[in-house]
Structures are given as structure tokens and as C-alpha cells.
Amino acid sequence: MGTGVIELENVSYSYGGGELLSDVSVQLQPGSFHFLTGPSGAGKTTLLKLCYGALLATSGRISAFGEDIAGLDRDQMALLRRRIGVVHQNCNFLDHMTLSENVALPLMVAGRAQDAEQDNLNELLNWVGLGNRLEAHPPELSGGERQRAALARSLILSPDVVLADEPTGNVDWEMSQRLLRLLVELNRMGKTVLIATHDLSLIRAAKSQVQARVLRISQRRLQLAGADL
């Protein structure tokens, strides 16, 4: 294998008796920026889940930070996932907790006291534009606020890699541009970023901001998309 932070080598994944992904090979280099596109149902979410170990490949090899994911025990997998922040398409928050508490949940899971991290937490929420919503509860948040909170939660443990699954799928164009700018800024800080999206307009908008590779899933295989996007 090479020098990528996450690497897939001849990976296939079958589900329900059928093959969803076939012979996928890709390396995410440190500090790179990738888009992952393809039609609905093509396997974008599945590919992201393979990258952070939520699913295991049917065949092939996946490594993260030089470790073969299939060989990790539960504790090793937990440590790995602290280095990979995931922004889910539909982020589940606990409605009885404040925004600040929801974003801080990964700290509690990792055994770190929120009090000791409060300054970092406040700084992060200010960065995503939610510094005035710390005490709000999830039902009070707009779609755009929820997506920015989801991004903040994925970053609270300072991961090396950020995987975002359709992060702009439920927001308007102006908010999608704001989220894109935040992800581009993360990349400029040195984070490796992979965004799964079906929104080609978002990809076009990114081209003036960041040097990005565009990967497309087509007929179960992963291809480098052309320059016509």
C-alpha cells in the first residue's frame, strides 16, 4: 500500500445477495480534497462507511493511517474513529440536550471532561456560526444550523480526516455555500476532506476555492470524473 491516510485496494462490497461496489481502489492522501458523486443508490454512503469501518469489505483491503481496518479490535477501532470525523446526512441529536451538549458528546464518549474543553467547544461553535445558539435545543434549530452543528460535532476531537455525507442535501444554496467554505477552510488547515454529494453545482462552485479530485461511482466501480463537471 501507499502513503494515503485512507486506502482501499480492490475492495468489493455485497449487500442482500447483490454486489454494490466492485474492485474499488483509491488513496486519500494527507491534506487532499475529494468529492464523491454518482446517482442515488450508487453506493456513496456505503463507500464512506467502509472508509471509517462502519462496514467491512466483502473482499479487498482497507487501511486507515497504515492499519488494516479488518484486523482492528473494538478498542483500536474506537481510537481510529476519533481520527475520522463523520458528518452524517441526517445527524441525530438528543432533543433533551442543548446544542453545546450535543456537540460535546464525542468528548464524553472519549472520556474527556467537557468543562476542560469548554473554551475549544465555544471557539468551534463560533467558527461554524453557532456561538449564539449554545443553549438552544435541536428542535429549535433550522436545517442549516443542524448541518453546521453536525459539522462541529464531527470536529470536536480534532480528527485528521473529515468525511461528509451529502452535507448540503437539506439546505438552500446560500447555506450550502457556507458549509462548503467551512469544509474548504478545514482542508486549508491540513485536514483530508471527502464529500459525498449528487450536487454537481456544489462541485463546480468548489473549483474556484480548492483543488479537488472528483470521484464518481458508476456501475459499481469508482472512476475519476472528467473535467466536464
114, pLDDT greater than 80: no
pTM confidence score: 0.92
CA angle 59–62–167, rounded 5-degree value:
110
User: Distance between CA 29 and CA 160 in Å, rounded?
Assistant: 11
Predicted local confidence at residue 226, as pLDDT: 56
Task: Provide mean pLDDT across the span 100-129.
Answer: 87
- Torsion over CA: 46, 51, 52, 54 (sign): positive
pLDDT of residue 228: 41
Mean pLDDT of 37-59: 93
- pLDDT surpasses 90 at 2: no
Average pLDDT, the chain: 91
Stretch 75-93: mean pLDDT:
91
On whether the CB atoms of residues 85 and 160 are closer than 8 A, the answer is: no
Question: How many CB atoms are located within 10 Å of the residue 93 CB?
Answer: 20
Q: What is the pLDDT of residue 229?
A: 42
Architecture of domain 1-83+162-229: 3-Layer(aba) Sandwich (3.40)
Say yes or no to pLDDT of 227 above 70: no
Give the pLDDT score at 175. Answer: 87
Domain ranges of the chain: 1-83+162-229, 87-158
Residue 114 contacts residue 108 (beta carbons within 8 Å): yes
55, pLDDT greater than 90: yes
Report the amino acid identity of residue 187: N
Q: What's the average model confidence in pLDDT over 183-203?
A: 94
Owner of C-alpha cell 482497507 = 62
**DSSP per position, 11-46:** EEEEETTEEEEEEEEEEE-TT-EEEEE-STTSSHHH
Instruction: Tell me the pLDDT tens digit for each residue of 116-162.
Output: 778 889 999 999 999 999 999 999 999 999 999 999 999 999 999 99
